[in-house]
Structure formats: C-alpha cells, structure tokens
Amino acid sequence: MKDALRPVMRAMVGSELLKNADVDVKFSVVSCLCELSRITAPQQPYDDGLMKEIFQLIVRAFEELSHSARHYYKAVHILETVADVKACLMLLDLECDALVIEIFQLFLRIIRPDHPNVVFTSMEEIMTLLIEESDEISMELLQPLLDSVRKENQICSPISSKLGEKVLKECASTVRPYLVEALKSRSMNLDDYGDIVASICNEMPEGEQMLHSQTEQLKNIGISNASHGCRVRAKKKQNAK
C-alpha cells in the first residue's frame, strides 16, 4: 500500500505544495496529509523533520476553528481526523513539547458554545491522549487547564471551563501527583478553582484506598473482638458471684 502511495506522498511534501502561499492550497494539502496519516497509522508517513513541519501546518489549520470562515469545515475535518487516528501522539515521539502546549492553549481559547459536538469531543480526545501518554506532565502543560477551571473563567467562558474540566476528570489519576505538587510549590488556593481541582487532589489513589479500607476493617474487627472479650469477662465475673 505504502509503495503505491509513494508518488502521491512525495508530491504532497514538495515545496510547490507544502510551502504554497495560497491558503486554499495549504488547507487541501493538510487535509490530504491527515488522510495519509490515517492510512499509514500507527507509523508516521514521513521523517521527523517533515512531520514537525506538517504538524505546524495542522496547528495553523486548527486556528480556523475560531470563526466560521470558508476554511472552517476543512479545519473541523482535520481536527476530527487527527483525533480519530491518534496522530497527535506523534508529537510526543517528536518531542514537540512547545507545540503540544500551544495546542492546549489554542483549544481552550477558541472552543465556542456553537461548535458542533465533534469539535468538543475531538479536542477533548486529543488533549486526553497527550496527557495520558506523556512520560511527564509539565506545569506549562497543566497551566492552561488550570486557568480554564478558575472560577472567574467559569463565568467568562463556561464552555472552555467545561472542556478543561472534562480533560482533567478523564486524566485525574495521571495529573493528581502533579496537581498536588503544584499546590504545594506554588501556594495555589483551591478556592480559586472549580470543584474538580479539589476533588482530584483530595481523592485517595486506588492502592491507598484499598489499604485504607483494609486498615479500617482490621480496626473494626479489633474493636468487635475487644467488645466481645469485655462481654465474656463481665459474664464470667457475674457467674463467679
């Protein structure tokens, strides 16, 4: 399959197309490149250098989601394709940390109440994948999500807050240690944020929950046995009288 596509793949990244100044051409090229990623997944279709360049174009295409211009529907299709084929995970392999942070900032800034549901769910899926598959979560990556769930943002931009909250909820176990550390090191006030932040920070990890539950059970058994012992001793004393 890849051999049959090779001529097309070469043409797509030729300078006359990839670096074309015409916006219509750029969007068509990016859309085709996303479809190529669908075909070659999970392998990336090009070398690292070209993939970095392609992702820069993809992020520029995402910007068109902020308004209903003529490229809006192509941008929606590109977003949906990137989410469907999990192409965003290539960004982690390419170590494009700055671009990942830019995507988070962009999505949380441009999401609108009148966007179709597929835009919201695709953004959520992309951000969730990037967090769950990251080896380490930087504060720079968490910051846009935290900003989105600040109480003032819940009033100013409820849809952005909803998106940030959904991502944090989906990634709760992954982000918890980083959030707890941020609270300590940055003296963050939980009262400044939506309930989701306190909920994640205060929730006991599953392993600790099991240990806590077992400890409580042992305590209850101990109390029960002690009570039983007291009753037995009291009965013996009564019989002795």
pLDDT at 100 over 90: yes
Residue at token pair 């003032």: 152
Report in angstroms the alpha-carbon separations of 38 from 31, 65, 92, 124: 11, 21, 18, 19
The pLDDT tens digits of the residues spanning 149-194 come to: 999 999 999 999 999 999 999 999 999 999 999 888 888 889 999 9
The percentage of the chain sitting over the pLDDT mark of 90, rounded to a whole number, equals 65
pLDDT confidence tier of residue 237, bands split at 50, 70 and 90: low
pLDDT at 234 over 90: no
How many whole angstroms separate alpha carbon 223 and alpha carbon 72?
Answer: 66
Of 223 and 69, which is predicted with more confidence? 69
pLDDT confidence tier of residue 135, bands split at 50, 70 and 90: very high
Q: What is the mean pLDDT of residues 116-134?
A: 98
The DSSP code sequence of 165-228 is HHHHHHTHHHHHHHHHHHHHHTT--GGGB-HHHHHHHHSPPHHHHHHHHHHHHHHHHHHHHHHH
pLDDT at 43 over 60: yes
Segments making up each domain of the chain, as ranges: 1-114
